[in-house]
Structure 1
Amino acid sequence: MIEKHFHLASTSTTIDTMDASESDGSSQAEEFTTSGNLTLATGTRHHRLLNSNEAPLDSDIGMIKSTGLKIDARVLDIDEEIARSFASAQNTAALSPLRRIPPEVLAEIFTWTLPPVYALASARKRFCSNDSPWLLTHISRHWRAVAIAIPSLWSMVAINYHPGMDPAGLYPMSMLETQLSRAQKPKIHFFGHEKSNPGPQIEIFKYLGLHSSRWEELSIILTSALVPILSDIQHRLPLLRRLSIEWSDETSQSDVDLIDCFERAPSLVDATVVNYSHFVPLLLPVHQLTRHDLNGPWDVHQSALVLGANLVEVRICLEFDIEPWPHVDEPIHLPCLRRLYTSHVEILGYLSTPALDELALCMGEGDMIQSRFGPFVEQSGCSLRRLRLEGRVETAKIAHLLKETPSIVDLAIIFSSASNAEKPAVLAMLTMIPDTPHVAPQLQSISIGCRPSCSLDHMKFTEMLYSRWKEPRHALGAAAFLSANSQYALEELRENETLKDLKREGLDFWMEYGPVAQKNIGLWTYYPGWD
C-alpha cells in the first residue's frame, strides 16, 4: 500500500504571513516546499488557528478554504508523482534479468536453497512451511510453475520427532500428500523417537509406506512401534538404492530378533546399519552392495565381506562380542575396494585390497599398528594416496606410517580428546626445520579436524604450514582446519597474517566450524553423507 504523507510546519520562516486583523482573509501567504510540506510563519493568525481551539472569524473562512484548495491540488500532484514512480518501478521490474533466467538455470538455483538433511535431523523441532521448496511456490506464478515442475526439488522428505512435540509442529498430512505427488523418486528421512507419541509416527510412516515402490533412499531412526510396520514394505522396494537404519535407544531394539524386509531389494547398493546396545541381524543383498557400513561382531563383518566382491567403500566398526582374533588362513579379497575405515587395525591382517586408494584408521593404545600396516599394504599391493587417522593418534606411529608409505600425499588427522598431549608433538613432527630430516615431504594436502571437546593451538598449525610452504620444491598445495567445537579458533585463523600471506601466495586453505565441520569430519572417515 502506498501512503501519502502531509505535514504542516510550525516553525518555518520561509514566508511571513500577515495577521488576520490586517487582511481580508484572501491574501494570507503560504508556500509548499519541494518535499510537499506547507510552511507557515510562527505567530500569524493562520498559525494560531491551526494550533489552538480558537473559533475562526468570518474574515478567516476565505483564507482557510483557499489554503485547503491548494492542499488538495498539491495532494493530486503527489498522487500523480506516486503513480508515475510506481509505473516506472513496474517497467524497471519488467526488464529485470531475473525474469529472463531460463527455467533450467532457475531450477538449478532452486536446488541450492534446500536445507541440508543433517540440519533437519539435529536442529529442527517442527515443520516449517517457510523452508524451501514450499517458499518458492509463493514468490510468483512463474517461480511456482518452475518449482512444481522439478521432481527432484520435492524428493527429500524429512520428518523429525522429539519428546513433547507440539502437534502443531507435525508435518501436515495434506502437505505431505502434495509433496509425494510432486516427487518422482522420494528420498525418505524419518527420524523417529522412542519417547515421542507413537501415534503420529505410525500414521505418517504407514502413509509413506504406501509409496515405497517409488522410494530411492530411506534413512530411518527406528522405534519399537515402527519395527512391525517394516513388514508392510517387504517386496515393495524396487527402486531403493540407499539405506540407513539406526535405533532410537536401547529399548527400541530390545524385542527385535531379525529385520529381513530389505534382503530382496533389487537396486540396493548402499547400506548403513548402526546398532545401539546390541547387535540385531539385518539381512541385506551384500553381493550387490558397493558400500557397506556396519557396527557389529567380527564374524558378521567377515561373512558380509566374503560376499562383497563389488564393494567400493566399507566402514568396519567392531562392537559387541569381541572374541579373540581367529587365525588368518587366507585374506578376504576385495578387488574393487577403494575406501576403507576400520575401528581396529587388527582387521587389516584379514584383508587384501589391491585397488585401495584411501584408508581411515581409528588408532588405539598398544594396537601394534607399525607391525600390521606394512604387511597389509604389501599383501594388498595397493598404492595408498589418502590416509585419515583418529583416536589415540601418536607422533611416532604417524611418522612410521608416512615413512613406510611414500605414496601417501593427502593426510588428515582428527583429534577427539581435549587431553590429548600428542597434539603439539604431531604438529611439531610435521613442521619442516632446515638441516633436519623432513617427515613426508611429498604431502600435498594436510588437514586437521577437532571434535566438539577438542581444541588446537592455531599458531603451531600455521607455523607448520608456513615451514612446508617455504621449503624449496615443496609439494604442499592445500590445507584444511575443521573445528566442531566453536568459531573462536577460526576467527583467530582468519586474522592470522601468516595464513593470509600463504593464501595470497596460492595455498588452497579451507576452514569450517560447528555442525558443518562435524559433518565433514565424519566424511573423512566415510560416514554416510546425505544431501
Structure 2
Amino acid sequence: MPRSTPIRVSDSGNSRNIVDTLPPELLVAIFHNCLPVSTDAEHEPHLVDSNGAPLLLTQISSLWRRLALSTPTLWKTFYIDIDILKHPDRLSELAEMWLSRAGSCPLDISIKGNLYGDDQLEYGVEGFWEVFAEHTAHIRALHLLVNLEDVVTLDENEWTFPLLEELEITPELDIEDEDDDPDWPTITSFSSSKHLRKLTLDSLPLSSLSIPLASITHLVARGYKKLQHCLDALSNLPNLLQFDLEEYQSDSSVQPTEALPHSTLQRLHLTQDVSDLSPAPMLLQFLTLPALKELRVENTAASGSTVNELLARSSWPTLRALQLSPPGDKTLLSVDIFNKPSFATLEELEVSFAEATSLEGFFTALGADAGFLPRLKSFTLNCEAAEEDVGTADAAYALPLIATAVTKRLALQPLWTLRYLRVQWDANDPDAAPDEEVLDGVLGPFRLLKQRGVEVYIGDDESTSTSIV
C-alpha cells in the first residue's frame, strides 16, 4: 500500500481488534510510544505528517481517534518545516488544530524555513503567528531555524515566554555574513524568561540576546569563528554547568595571557571544525575549571600536554568522563598523567586514533596495576587503519595489547570495576579491520570478560553490526 494512502479500520467489522479491548490508559501509553523520537531539529525536524503519529492515530478507528484527541500530551510537540509543507495555504489552520489539541500542556515548538519571503501570503504566515501568539505563555522549548531577518521580525512582536526552559536560534546566514562577523541584532523577546536553562546558538554570540544570564546552565554554541565570543559567554554565565562548543574555528585574534576561571562548569565538550586545525590558541589554554567532571575533546588540535596543563591549572579536578579524539597530535596522555589525582575517579574513557607507542604504555599500566584508573567502568577505543607517518595503532595492533591487559587485570585485587568494553573500527575502510588470524588469537580474554558480566563489543562502527565476541 502506498505510504500516502491512509490506513483505516472499519468500525463495523465482524471481529473486534484485540488492541481495542485494552484499557484506555494502556492504549494511550502505546500511543505515546508511537510518537517520533526527538532528534536534532536542525538536521531532522519532525514534520506534521498524516502518515505518522499522532495524526495517523486519529485515522484508525473511532475509539483511537477519540482517545488521541482527548490526550493533550500527544500534541505537545509541534515541529514544522514551512518550506516543504504540502499545503502551505493551510498553515494557520494546521497550527490552530494541532496546538488547541495540546490544551495547556507545556509546548515544544520547532519552526524551520523562510518565514517572511516573497511567498509569505501564500504560506499564510501572518495567520500562523496569530495562532502562535495565543500559546506563547506555555511554550517550554522553542527552536527557531530561520533567517536572521525572521528572528528580528519575530522579536518586534514583543511576545513574552514566561515558561520557556529551552531556546535554540539557528539563523540561516547570507554568504557574506558567513565569511565575516555580521552586525548582530539585539534580541529582547526572552528577557523575562526566568526559567530558561538550555540555550543553543548557531554563530550568534551570546551578547546579541537579552536574557536572564544567571539562569542558564547549559550552552550549546555552534560555528563560532572568534574565541572571544566563547570567552565572553563563559564570563557572563556564572551558573553554567555544561558548555558544548561545536564546529568552531581557532583564531589568532586572542592570545592567552591569564586563564579565565569558571567555578561551576562541570562538562566541557569541544568539537572543532576539521577543516581548520590551525596552530592558533585553543580554548583549553584560556580556562581554569576546578569543578570539571567531564571533558570531551573531538577533532581538535589539542595535544596531551594542553589537556594536562588544563587539569593542573584547575588543581586536578575529579573527572568522571574523558573523551579524546585528536586528528592531529595522536599521542595519548602519558601514563604519568593518568596517575594524577584527576583520574583516580575516572569512570568513562573513550580514546580515538591513538599513536601506537603511547597506547602500548597505557595498556601495560592498565594490566599491571590495580590502582591505575581504579574506578574505570566504561572504556571505548576507536581505531583506524595504521598510518606509518604518525604510527597510529590499528585494531590488529591494539587488540592483543588489550587482551593481555585484560588477562592480567582480572588476576589482580581488588576486583576490576569495568562493566563495558568497546573496540571498534571504521566499517567503510577495509584496511582498518583486523584479519581473522589476529581475532582468533585474542578473543579468549574478551569472552572471559563477558562471562563475568561485562558488556563487550568488538567489531566495526556500524550501528547495526553485532559483536564478534
TM-score relative to the length of structure 2 = 0.69
Pair 1:319–1:143, CA change in 2 (3 A): same
2:159 corresponds to 1:217:
no
C-alpha displacement of 1:144: 2.9
The 1-side partners of 2:191 and 2:362 are apart by 47
Aligned to 2:276: none
Correspondence list, 1:488-527, <5 A: 502-509=449-456
Aligned to 2:32: 111
* Runs of 5+ consecutive residues of structure 1 not aligned to the other structure: 1-85, 518-531
Pair 1:121–1:299, CA change in 2 (3 A): closer
Q: Which amino acid aligns with 2:79?
A: A
2:21 corresponds to 1:99:
yes
Provide Cα deviations, 1:105-137, integer angstroms capped at 9, x if missing partner. 443332222213437753579642111111222
8 Å contact from structure 2 (residues 311, 317) kept in 1: no
Instruction: Report the RMSD for the aligned CA atoms in angstroms.
Output: 4.7
Aligned to 1:153: 74
Aligned to 1:376: 313
Provide Cα deviations, 1:304-342, integer angstroms capped at 9, x if missing partner. 3334332221235664764232532x74342x3321234
Pair 1:271–1:440, CA change in 2 (3 A): same
Correspondence list, 1:352-431, <5 A: 352-362=288-298, 363-364=300-301, 368-369=305-306, 372-378=309-315, 382-392=317-327, 394-397=330-333, 399=335, 401-404=337-340, 405-413=342-350, 415=352, 422=354, 428-431=360-363
Correspondence list, 1:432-451, <5 A: 432=364, 440-442=372-374, 443-448=376-381
Pair 1:281–1:272, CA change in 2 (3 A): same
Provide Cα deviations, 1:62-101, integer angstroms capped at 9, x if missing partner. xxxxxxxxxxxxxxxxxxxxxxxx96x55xx5xx476234
C-alpha displacement of 1:446: 0.9
C-alpha displacement of 1:283: 3.4
3-state SS, counterpart of residue 229 of structure 1: helix
Pair 1:440–1:516, CA change in 2 (3 A): farther
Pair 1:440–1:158, CA change in 2 (3 A): farther
The 1-side partners of 2:366 and 2:230 are apart by 47
The 2-side partners of 1:135 and 1:293 are apart by 34
The 2-side partners of 1:431 and 1:198 are apart by 62
Aligned to 1:128: 49
The 2-side partners of 1:294 and 1:119 are apart by 14
The 2-side partners of 1:253 and 1:202 are apart by 26
Pair 1:427–1:350, CA change in 2 (3 A): closer
Q: Which amino acid aligns with 1:309?
A: P
3-state SS, counterpart of residue 217 of structure 1: strand
Pair 1:243–1:126, CA change in 2 (3 A): closer
Pair 1:289–1:280, CA change in 2 (3 A): closer
Aligned to 1:267: 195
Aligned to 2:58: 137
8 Å contact from structure 1 (residues 316, 341) kept in 2: yes
Aligned to 2:234: 305
Aligned to 1:174: 93
* Runs of 5+ consecutive residues of structure 2 not aligned to the other structure: 1-12, 273-280
8 Å contact from structure 2 (residues 383, 394) kept in 1: no
The 1-side partners of 2:85 and 2:160 are apart by 33
Provide Cα deviations, 1:165-196, integer angstroms capped at 9, x if missing partner. 47458985433321111222221122226999
3-state SS, counterpart of residue 112 of structure 1: helix
Pair 1:506–1:201, CA change in 2 (3 A): farther
Aligned to 1:258: 185
2:205 corresponds to 1:286:
no
Pair 1:433–1:201, CA change in 2 (3 A): farther
Q: Which amino acid aligns with 1:263?
A: S
Provide Cα deviations, 1:332-381, integer angstroms capped at 9, x if missing partner. 342x3321234698545654444332122344156841651342331xx6
The 2-side partners of 1:263 and 1:512 are apart by 48
The 2-side partners of 1:435 and 1:137 are apart by 59
8 Å contact from structure 1 (residues 256, 280) kept in 2: no
C-alpha displacement of 1:257: 2.5
Pair 1:410–1:123, CA change in 2 (3 A): same
TM-score relative to the length of structure 1 = 0.62
Aligned to 2:5: none
Pair 1:97–1:152, CA change in 2 (3 A): closer
C-alpha displacement of 1:267: 1.9
Pair 1:122–1:272, CA change in 2 (3 A): closer
Q: Which amino acid aligns with 1:311?
A: L
Provide Cα deviations, 1:418-443, integer angstroms capped at 9, x if missing partner. xx6x4666764554589867994532
The 2-side partners of 1:373 and 1:385 are apart by 16
Aligned to 2:10: none
Q: Which amino acid aligns with 1:476?
A: L
3-state SS, counterpart of residue 132 of structure 1: coil
8 Å contact from structure 2 (residues 187, 209) kept in 1: yes
8 Å contact from structure 2 (residues 109, 139) kept in 1: yes
The 1-side partners of 2:58 and 2:401 are apart by 50
The 2-side partners of 1:423 and 1:131 are apart by 47
Q: Which amino acid aligns with 2:113?
A: G
